[in-house]
Structure 1
Amino acid sequence: MERAALESISSDAQAFLQQLDLIGRRALFVRVTRDELARASFLDERLGLQGREGFWLSFRQIDEIASMLPANAPLPDFIFHIGHCGSTLLSRLLDQVPNVLGLREPLPLRDLASIGRELDSPLSRMDSTHWHSLIATSLRLWSRPFAPSQHTLLKATSTCNNLIAPILQAEPGIRAVLLYLRLEPYLATMLKGSGLDALQAAPGRLQFLHEFLDDTAIRLHELEPSEMIAMGWIAELARFQQLLARSSSSHRLLLLDFEHLLADIPTMLGGVLRHFGLPINAGAGNPDARQSILKAYAKNPAHAYSAEDRNHDLNLSRRSHAAGISRAMRWAGSVTQRYEQLSALRPLLG
């Protein structure tokens, strides 16, 4: 592809970075409109690629595009979270603010997070320098504006929390919300479904927890499924607390309990807007649009799902999975008491 074509792509917000091919060392771009991005709950395989215009660029060509992006190119802010804790709902509420575009879970972020956990291994497909460079380029490509004054808010997948530290270190202008649930409602939420994504993420989360505690006594094969979910929650909340304890990044992070958000949306949403430097008087846009969002299932807005529906489901899960929840709560209580490094998590269990 000639340089003129690469220059055109570098300024074209509709050329969306959709997928990385680490084996072929290339990336897939697909053509999307702003409305398609705003409607999408997930910007992964579910975006829908059949019949969509697309093209592959080599990593070398992406590096060339990066050199063409303006030095003051806008950067996105982030929503990081522990999974199944209202991050999609928060993203959709923020979408109602003028000039905000929410991008929900771009697939390449998951690949970059996976590579990040392997960087120290001789089997890694990418070295640290190129990994950091590809993160920086990806963020700038995703935040190319469709219109002046656009503010891009990027919601990551819950398995991407290992990207928080390197992104904050490399990009001093980026801010993030760290969204979570207390452990008991988190367990009820996860166990009312299969909890499969939390169980799949357990090895990576335990690897972080071992490093955080400087102790490998917790062994994955010894844990029951509900205890694995609790272990993952402890790992991610420990990661959040570690980040908040760093003076260099704490002011750029906002720890937010989803249930506190639901209990007082105007106040809590105002705090989020203030954190991101967005206009407070914009609120969350049209009140009717806000109510429509709150009465629908955020991941599938065509499906009605109110706060009352959520409470009903959680209480049903608490009854159906009482034994597993109780076992996981006891295990988490024991672990947080055993390790002083986890003392800040004790008030967040129940």
Structure 2
Amino acid sequence: MAEADNPSRNPEWLAHRYDAVGDRFQFVRVPREQHRAIPFLTDENLPAAKSPFVLGRAAALAAAIPPAPLRYIFHSAFCCSTLLVRALDREGVAMGLSEPVLLNDIVGWRHRGPVEGARVAMVLDQGLNLLARPWQPGEAVVIKPSNLVNPLAPAMLGMRPETRALLLHAPLEDFLGSIARKGLWGRLWVRDLFVKLRREGLLEFGLQGDELLKLTDIQIAALCWLGQQRQFAALAGQFGDRIRTLDSEQLMARPADALAALAAHFTLALSAAQIDEIVGGPAFTRNSKTGGSFTADDRRADRELGLKTHADEVQKVGIWAAELARTHAIALELPAPLLG
């Protein structure tokens, strides 16, 4: 294969998966237009993933082009993170990658273990280099990992002192309402999240065995929210000015202000006119998951309906969670706010 044909030289070839057994990267061609049309970079959204281009790690890295400036949107789920990464996708400014599975693969590799931490860190660093290949000169790359990747956030920030991150979350009541109104799927999803975050040591609340089995699905959701909130506060304290925090309610109430502040934090050259265009464009007027029309008023109505339908459960669990937060010194409002 000629060097020019090596997919690691072309950012349209997404570094999609990492095979730890074979020590290989799998590449899938995903044009920019396709990125904009799908919510997540998962196999179900990428038909080409059935026949990836496979390269050994050494061969992929040998031909890879230098990475662009890298920015992160870490999130705790159901907080408009997909909307936000799409809003920042603007040619000449930044390219957004929504939940690349390669990072999930590295988390899974750690969980299957045992594997040396130094080796995981090396592959993580190299995988980030492949994800950060620039699409155009001068563009940054904004990665929004799955929230299952949040345990890797300290390493991802620590190994690249020039990176900056936004920690995006939904207010507690909104998060609980989102899980409740999603029915069985939401409840199964949050229990799976609980298992994985607990494995990472992020859900230490003094509850064990039968005490955990007695918890409702929405209580489990509250523990996940509290664990992620505690981690986000620790990240803000550890990395100082490189971190800003924002909740989804503020984002949707003040989208132009949020984009302007985030552009400044991420050092992205977005003018006021460009920001107005983004706020009036598909990122804020379409459902980021389905592509259908979905305005701020629709989002507000959807949220309020969910909270009304499950009001009794959400309110009672909210009170329980607030007491847990007080007991374990977890701030319900994060430090380092993006918006004053």
Counterparts of residues 162-311 of structure 1 (less than 5 Å) = 162-194=151-183, 195=186, 196-208=188-200, 215=206, 219-246=211-238, 249-281=239-271, 284-285=274-275, 287=277, 290-301=280-291, 303-311=292-300
Q: How far, CA to CA, are the matches of 2:140 and 2:293 in structure 1? A: 29
1:86 is aligned to: 80
Q: Offset at 1:258?
A: 1.2
Checking the alignment, whether the CA contact within 8 Å between 1:100 and 1:150 is kept in structure 2 is yes
Cα deviations by residue, 1:109-140 (Å, 9 ceiling, x for unpaired): 11212334x3xxxx615322221111111111
1:76 is aligned to: 70
2:147 is aligned to: 158
Q: How far, CA to CA, are the matches of 2:86 and 2:263 in structure 1? A: 13
Gap change, CA 1:205 and 1:288, over 3 Å in 2 = closer
Secondary structure of the structure 2 residue equivalent to 1:245 = helix
2:28 is aligned to: 30
Checking the alignment, whether the CA contact within 8 Å between 1:270 and 1:283 is kept in structure 2 is no
2:40 is aligned to: 42
Secondary structure of the structure 1 residue equivalent to 2:47 = coil
Q: How far, CA to CA, are the matches of 2:126 and 2:58 in structure 1? A: 8
Checking the alignment, whether the CA contact within 8 Å between 1:177 and 1:255 is kept in structure 2 is yes
Q: How far, CA to CA, are the matches of 2:50 and 2:200 in structure 1? A: 39
Q: How far, CA to CA, are the matches of 1:278 and 1:142 in structure 2? A: 18
Counterparts of residues 9-158 of structure 1 (less than 5 Å) = 9-50=7-48, 54-57=52-55, 61-69=56-64, 73-96=67-90, 98-116=92-110, 118=111, 124=113, 126-158=115-147
Structure 2 spans left out of the alignment, 5+ residues: 336-340
Secondary structure of the structure 2 residue equivalent to 1:256 = strand
Counterparts of residues 333-344 of structure 1 (less than 5 Å) = 333-340=322-329, 342=330, 344=331
Cα deviations by residue, 1:82-129 (Å, 9 ceiling, x for unpaired): 00110011111111464311111111111212334x3xxxx6153222
Checking the alignment, whether the CA contact within 8 Å between 2:3 and 2:63 is kept in structure 1 is no
Q: How far, CA to CA, are the matches of 1:111 and 1:88 in structure 2? A: 20
Cα deviations by residue, 1:177-233 (Å, 9 ceiling, x for unpaired): 1101110111112211132322210123234566766x4558532311000000000
Q: Offset at 1:328?
A: 1.4
Q: Offset at 1:309?
A: 1.6
Identity of aligned residues (%): 24
Secondary structure of the structure 2 residue equivalent to 1:179 = strand
If the length of structure 2 is used for normalisation, what is the TM-score?
Answer: 0.87
Checking the alignment, whether the CA contact within 8 Å between 1:18 and 1:106 is kept in structure 2 is yes
Q: How far, CA to CA, are the matches of 2:113 and 2:278 in structure 1? A: 49
Checking the alignment, whether the CA contact within 8 Å between 1:7 and 1:65 is kept in structure 2 is no
Equivalent position amino acid for 1:324 in 2: E
Secondary structure of the structure 2 residue equivalent to 1:279 = coil
Q: How far, CA to CA, are the matches of 2:10 and 2:89 in structure 1? A: 21
Equivalent position amino acid for 1:182 in 2: P
Cα deviations by residue, 1:36-94 (Å, 9 ceiling, x for unpaired): 2333321111332359763222xxx2134324546x53242111100011001111111
Checking the alignment, whether the CA contact within 8 Å between 2:16 and 2:27 is kept in structure 1 is yes
Number of residues of Structure 1 aligned to a counterpart in Structure 2: 331
Gap change, CA 1:330 and 1:135, over 3 Å in 2 = same
Q: CA RMSD in A?
A: 2.7
Q: How far, CA to CA, are the matches of 2:136 and 2:42 in structure 1? A: 24
Gap change, CA 1:282 and 1:45, over 3 Å in 2 = farther
> Is 1:320 aligned with 2:312?
no
Q: Offset at 1:336?
A: 1.4
Checking the alignment, whether the CA contact within 8 Å between 1:269 and 1:284 is kept in structure 2 is no
Secondary structure of the structure 2 residue equivalent to 1:42 = coil
Q: How far, CA to CA, are the matches of 2:67 and 2:314 in structure 1? A: 47
Gap change, CA 1:52 and 1:338, over 3 Å in 2 = closer
Most deviating of 4-13 and 73-82: 4-13
Q: How far, CA to CA, are the matches of 1:96 and 1:226 in structure 2? A: 38
If the length of structure 1 is used for normalisation, what is the TM-score?
Answer: 0.85
